[in-house]
Amino acid sequence: MKKGNRIKVNSDITSNGFILGVFLCKISLLQVFNKGIITINKIRGIRRVTKLEFIDLTYELLEGMGSYCLRSKKNSKGYRQKNNWLQNSFEEGLKYVQIFKNNKQVGFIEYTAAEYSSRVVFANDYLVIHCLWVSETGQGYGTELIQKCLTDAKRLAKKGVVAVTNSTTSWTPSKEIFLKNNFQCIDNAPYGFELLAYSFSQELEQPYFPNDWEERLKRFNQLTILRSFQCPYVEVATENIVAGATQLDLPVEVIDFSNREQLMTLSPTPYGILSVIYKGQLLTFHRLTVHSVVKKLKELSCND
């Protein structure tokens, strides 16, 4: 299969919010789509049109489409908490952009201004990418979504865009896709966290992580869960921690971050969504099975 040219669209927006583009590529094509990209593939002399669409999730679309993660369990507590979190975050300017290929979702990106972000990073006047996911790598979906974020950052007169990555877990976006799009690694933190940044100009002060991670951990001796509902899987992770602790007759304190100031003060990792601490040590920042929870708790108890 020989791939043809990719044509970006710059046309007027019609009253129903779609862009009407007319393309001539040896044959005339009429397509109606929302901020889309047309890819034309030629197979044995037959031209096939692949349509990519970007859809910004809004209050109204959230009711019908919903968010992507945990969508197979829309009645679950975690999914409902995520959607409620999105409703509140839309008021703060958060963007949740889904990309569709021929009416099938193939990826999404979530980002917001640093002052409203769920990541523990000092990045004034930057956008922070929370999540980036694609159904298939190597198709350019991730790059298209990142470029959408960069375009928004320029439109909003931001200094650039940052993302928190960690190669030890799938709970953060891949570092490689950002490096491919000319982001630079500018800081790191314990447990494998890295800060990637795309700056529009050479600033004297770049975004950075806090440096008091150990002090934050020492505040907690009892088994404690710090969490944000930015991720729908946090509820499942919490249930597993509680189930494991129950087997060992350990009490659990759950602290839900109510604002960014609290998150920036208490979170012992840059991730900010989930931290489980016991006896001043980090148990995990992502979901564990109940068996793994029990095993790790026993290990920490033995080391006491």
Question: Rounded to whole angstroms, how far apart are CA atoms 218 and 214?
Answer: 6
Q: Which residue has the tokens 């491919």?
A: 180
Distances (CA, A) of 1 to 42, 44, 45: 7, 8, 11
Contact 195, 156 (CB under 8 A): no
Residue 150 to residue 146: CA distance in whole angstroms: 6
Q: Are residues 225 and 267 in the same domain?
A: yes
Torsions phi, psi for 43 (to 5 deg): -125, 110
Residue 133 is assigned to a structural domain of this protein: yes
Q: What is the domain extent for residue 220? A: 213-302
Residue 97 shares a structural domain with residue 169 = yes
| Statement to judge: residues 100 and 189 lie in one domain | yes
pLDDT at 23: 29
Do the domain assignments include residue 233? Answer: yes
Same domain? For 157 and 243 the reply is: no
Indicate if 187 and 258 belong to the same structural domain.
no
Please give the backbone phi and psi of residue 201, each rounded to the nearest 5 degrees, phi first.
-150, 165
Per the structure, the count of domains in the chain is 3
Interstrand relation of 184-189 and 224-227 (parallel, antiparallel or unpaired):
unpaired
Which of 140, 165, 199 is the last residue before a domain boundary? 199
- 145 is a domain residue: yes
Sign of the Cα torsion 93, 94, 98, 99 reads positive
Q: Does any domain span residue 69?
A: no
Residue 48 lies in a domain: yes
Same domain, 39 and 136: no
Same-domain status, 172 and 223: no
In a domain, 6, yes or no: yes
pTM for the structure as a whole: 0.80
pLDDT at 143: 95
Cα 284 from Cα 242, distance rounded (Å): 13
Residues 120 and 190 in one domain: yes
Sign of the torsion angle spanned by Cα atoms 57, 59, 60, 65: positive
* 150/189 same-domain check: yes
What confidence score (pLDDT) does residue 51 get? 77
Interatomic CA distance for residues 202 and 204, integer angstroms = 7
Distances in Å between the alpha carbon of 89 and those of 58, 92, 106, 111, 178? 11, 5, 23, 10, 24
Tell me the C-alpha distance between 191 and 173, whole Å.
15
What are the φ and ψ backbone dihedral angles of 18, each rounded to 5 degrees?
-105, 160
Domain boundary residue, one of 168, 199, 230: 199
Identify the CATH number of the domain in which residue 297 sits. Answer: 3.40.30.10
176 with 217, same domain: the answer is no
195 within a domain of the structure (yes/no): yes
- List of the chain residues with pLDDT < 70: 1-50, 63-68, 70-72, 304
Identify whether the C-beta of residue 163 lies closer than 8 Å to the C-beta of residue 196.
Answer: yes
239 found inside a domain:
yes
Clarify whether residues 127 and 191 are in a common domain. Answer: yes
List the helix and strand counts (H, then E) for the chain: 8, 15
Same-domain check for residues 23 and 47: yes
Cβ neighbours around 267 below 10 Å, total? 24
Going by the DSSP 8-state scheme, the letter that residue 257 receives in this structure is -
